[in-house]
Amino acid sequence: MESRCLRIIRHGPAVAWLTVLVSCMTVPRAVRQKQSSDGLSGGGNLALAALRCTAVAAIRQPVTTTKLGFAFLWNRPLQIINSNLPFAASPQPAIAETPGTREFESLLDRHHFPVAESGSLHWLIDGPGFFPELERRIATARQSIKMQTFIFDNDDIAVRYADALKRRSGEVPVQVLFDDLGSMIAANTAPATLGPRGFVPPPDMHDYLRDHSKVRARRILTPWLAADHTKLIIFDKRTAYLGGMNIGREYFSEWHDLMVRVEGPIVSSLCREFNRAWRKAGPWGDCALVRQPAIFRRPKPVTADIPLRVLRTDPAEGRHEILNACLLAIRGTRRRIWIETPYFMNAEVARTLAAAARRGVDVRVILPASGESVFLNLANLSTADGLIRAGAKVFHFPIMTHAKIMICDDWACVGSANLDNLSLHINRELNLAFSNHAAVQELADKVLLPDFRRSNRIRPGETGPYANGFARIIADEL
C-alpha cells in the first residue's frame, strides 16, 4: 500500500489528479473486500486531499512551498544525471574514520550533524512485536499520547487503534498527525487479507478520530506532494517509537517490518520534532513556527543508555542528514555493510556500496522478492545487478519486507527512510543513528542474521532483462 502511495506522489500533481479522476469513475478491488472506501466517497475525499495538498498548502505554508519548489528545481536535475551515470562511475574515495569509532563520531560532529544524545533501544519485530505493545501503551498512558504516521489507514486494524485512542482521549491529551494525501490514497486501496464480515470502513479517518472523542487530529499537508513519511509515537514524553510501521493491516499481519522503542534523554528531542510538525500542520502553518517551541523536560537516563543521533531528510530545511551520514559510513567501512530495504533506487548509495565491495568489504543487501509494483521491482533488480557485478551479495526476502536498516561495521542507521530518491532527497524522514558494538550486534543478531537465513541469494545473471541500460533508466526515473 505504501509503495502505491509513493508511486503516485513521486510523479507530482498531474498524476495525483489523474488518480483522483480514476478513483471517482471506478469501483476498486478494495470495495469488494469491504476494507477500504467505496469508489464514490473515496474518490471525492481523495480529490479534497489533493486540493488541500496543493492550493491550501500553498496558502498556509508559503515559505515551505517556496523553499521546496527551489529544492526540487535544484535536486531533480542532479538526481536524473546521477541516475544515468555508468554504475561503475567513481564515487568519493574511502575515508580513514571507521564507523562505530570515536573518530567517526567526531567526524559527524565536524560535519555539523545533530549532536548525539543518550537513550536506550529495544527492537520490536513485525506486527506481533509492535502492535500489542502499542495497545498496552495507549491503555496505560498517564500524561499524553503523541502519534505521527505517514498512513493512518481505514481498515479494521486502523479502526481498532483509532477506537483505543478515542477511548483514552477523555483521560489524557491525544494528538494524531498523518500525511493527508498518503492516508487518503491508502484508504482507497485494500490490504491483501480480508477483515471481519460486515466491516464498513470510515471514509475519512480524520473525521472518525474526532467524532465523539477529544482526539486532536491534524492532516499534514504536502506542498509539491513531498510526503511527510515520518513514523513517531511518544507516550508521556518519556517513551518513543519510530521505524517503518504505519497504522493498518499490512503492518499488523502481512509485511515484515521493524520498530524501535526509545527511552532516555533523547526523547525530549523527539518531542520537539513532533511539536514542530504539529504546529506546522495547524491552521497557521508556517506562521506557527515563529512561536518559541515548547520546552520539554529531559527524561532521566535509563539502563543501557548509548549515544543516539536524530537524522532527518527535510528538503525545505536543506537537511539531507540521512543520505550524507550513510555515504560517510559506507566510505569508512572496513568489514561489513549489511542492509535491508524495500526500495533501493539511489545511484549515489549504490555506487558507493559497489566501491566498498570492490575493496573487499562484506556488502549484503536484502530486498523483497516481490513488491507491489512492477516498476519498483525493476528498479530494485537494476540496482541489485550493479552491486552483484561489483562483488556484493544481494538477497530476496520471501515476503514483502518494509524494514529500513543499515549496519556499517559498528555503526547503524534505522528509521523511516528507504534507500531511494524519495526518502533521501524529497520526503520528510526520521532516522536514528548510533555507534555502539553491543547495540549494533543485537540488531544484527535479532533482525538481519535471521533475515539472511530466510532469504534467497540472487546469483549473477538472475536479474535477467532488468540489467539492460534502457530498463535501468526507466526504473531509476519511475
pLDDT tens by residue, 177-196 = 999 999 998 888 888 888 88
For cell 562505530, the residue is 100
Secondary structure of residue 252 in the 3-state scheme: helix
The count of domains in the chain is: 1
Whole-angstrom distance, CA of residue 205 vs CA of residue 183: 8
24-63: buried (b, 16+ CB within 10 Å) or exposed (e) per residue?
eeeebebbebbbbbbbebbbbbbbebbebbbebbbebbee
Q: Please enumerate in sequence order all residues whose Cβ is within 8 A of that of 313, keeping only pairs 6 or more positions apart, or say none.
A: 319, 320, 321, 322, 323, 417, 423, 424, 425, 426, 427, 428, 429
Whole-angstrom distance, CA of residue 284 vs CA of residue 273: 18
Quick one: which H or E segment has residue 40?
helix 39-51
- What is the 8-class DSSP label of residue 448? I
**Least confident segment among 26-30, 274-278, 318-322:** 26-30
Quote the domain boundaries for residue 353.
Answer: 2-477
Mean pLDDT to the nearest integer, 45-52: 84
Q: Counting every residue, how long is the chain?
A: 478
Residue type, 433: A
Mean pLDDT to the nearest integer, 468-473: 51
The DSSP string of 390-440 is: HT-EEEEESS-B---EEEETTEEEEES--EEHIIIIISBEEEEEEE-HHHH
96 with 395: CB under 8 angstroms?
no
Q: Which triple of cell numbers denotes residue 322?
A: 540521512
Q: Is the pLDDT of residue 468 over 70?
A: no
* Confidence at residue 30, expressed as pLDDT on a 0 to 100 scale: 39
* Confidence at residue 76, expressed as pLDDT on a 0 to 100 scale: 72
Task: Tell me the per-residue pLDDT of 32-41, one tens digit each, with 9 for 90 and over.
Answer: 345 666 655 6
Mean pLDDT to the nearest integer, 367-390: 85
337 with 356: CB under 8 angstroms?
yes
For 307, list phi and psi in degrees, rounded to 5.
-70, 130
Mean pLDDT to the nearest integer, 241-249: 97
Q: Is the pLDDT of residue 166 over 70?
A: yes
Predicted confidence band of residue 5 (pLDDT cuts 50, 70, 90)? low
Ramachandran category for residue 137: left, alpha or beta (phi over 0 → left; psi -120 to 50 → alpha): alpha
- Give the predicted TM-score (pTM) of the model: 0.90
Q: Is the pLDDT of residue 287 over 80?
A: yes
Give the domain CATH number at 112: 3.30.870.10
In Å, how far are 52, 134, 165, 319, 417 from 267, measured between CA atoms?
Answer: 31, 17, 21, 20, 19
Q: Is the pLDDT of residue 42 over 80?
A: no
Task: Tell me the per-residue pLDDT of 257-269, one tens digit each, with 9 for 90 and over.
Answer: 999 999 999 999 9
Task: Tell me the per-residue pLDDT of 64-122, one tens digit each, with 9 for 90 and over.
Answer: 999 998 888 887 777 767 766 666 666 788 999 999 999 999 999 999 999 999 999 99
Mean pLDDT in the chain? 87
Secondary structure of residue 294 in the 3-state scheme: coil
Mean pLDDT to the nearest integer, 430-442: 97
Quick one: which H or E segment has residue 368?
strand 362-368
Residue type, 406: M
* Confidence at residue 425, expressed as pLDDT on a 0 to 100 scale: 92
